[in-house]
Amino acid sequence: MAQNKGFGFGLGKIKELQEAFKKAQQVQEGAKALQDELERMEIEGVSENGLVKVYMSGNQEPLRLTIAPELLDQGVETLETTITDAMKAAYRESTETMRSKMEELTSGLDLPGM
């Protein structure tokens, strides 16, 4: 007579599944808190010459920029290049901040692929 093994889940497997659900809930709660934190951040990107500053949230939403008055006398092409330079710096800083915060959130959770 064949022994009834159910679905192949023993108590160990059920505990693993419960632990996985618990970790998923922790990540979900942490992700919501992280989203709120990133939304409130103001990250500064500065052009190489220091004449333009771009501010973004941690979610990479542009917030504002400042342009030094002396840059306005240097021509449109220089102005465009300098603004772009500051935007790239703000984007890099924002991306690095987001990546770092995500690593903090997932560290110690032993999630595959993270």
Kindly state the tokens that stand for 20: 């996985």
- Residue 114: pLDDT band (50, 70, 90) is very low
Comparing 4-18, 19-33, 49-63, 74-88, the range with the smallest average pLDDT is 4-18
pLDDT of residue 2 exceeding 70, the answer is no
Question: Is CATH 3.40.50.2300 correct for 11-106?
Answer: no
Q: Which helix (H) or strand (E) holds 91?
A: helix 76-106
Average pLDDT of the chain?
Answer: 85
CA distance 97 to 55: 13
**Would you place residue 111 in the very low, low, confident or very high pLDDT band (cuts 50, 70, 90)?**
low
The pLDDT tens digits for 9-43 are 566 678 888 887 888 787 788 888 888 899 999 99
* H or E element that contains 45: strand 43-46
